[in-house]
Amino acid sequence: MPPDDERGDGHPLRETVAENQRVVGALNAKLARKDHEIRIIQQISTEINATIELDRILTLILASFDRVLGFHHSMILMADQGGETLTLAASSGYSESGVGANVRFGEGTVSVVAKRRRMVRFGNLGAQLGYMSAVRSAMAAAGN
């Protein structure tokens, strides 16, 4: 039987080198992305650590959501001491800020997500905006 390179099925060494180069290229691309992410996190951390004002920190976080992650509509809710209610601390991209609105854990999409402690990215934002508007109206009617 002739050697591999004489059988017409390519050169095993060249194929191995080419495959190794593809793997190294893919790893370098992943490393570059991670390096970029680390730089962004360092920049955001530096900005946040430059102040002790909560409102400024929340504004920086929301701006980072938009700039880095492309989340043009976002909100930050904070749990009360008893862990029963969420209060909207800051929002971005909505026509009304809603700051100060309260939602009990387990009531509605947002509080269920908070209770499960998992991030959710909503599709069909128009429907979500309609939902949030209805929630705000209901809360206003209830005196919250």
Torsion of Cα atoms, 109 then 104 then 70 then 46, to 10°: -150
Q: Taking 70 as the threshold, does the pLDDT of residue 54 lie above it? A: yes
How is residue 16 written in tokens? 């191995």
Confidence of residue 1 (pLDDT cuts 50, 70, 90): very low
For residue 99, what are the contacts with CB-CB under 8 A and spacing of at least 6? 88, 89, 90, 91
Decide: pTM greater than 0.75. no
93-123 tens-digit pLDDT: 887 778 888 888 777 777 777 777 777 766 6
Greater model confidence, 138 or 10: 138
Is the model's pLDDT at 22 over the cut of 90?
yes
Q: What is the DSSP letter of 15?
A: H
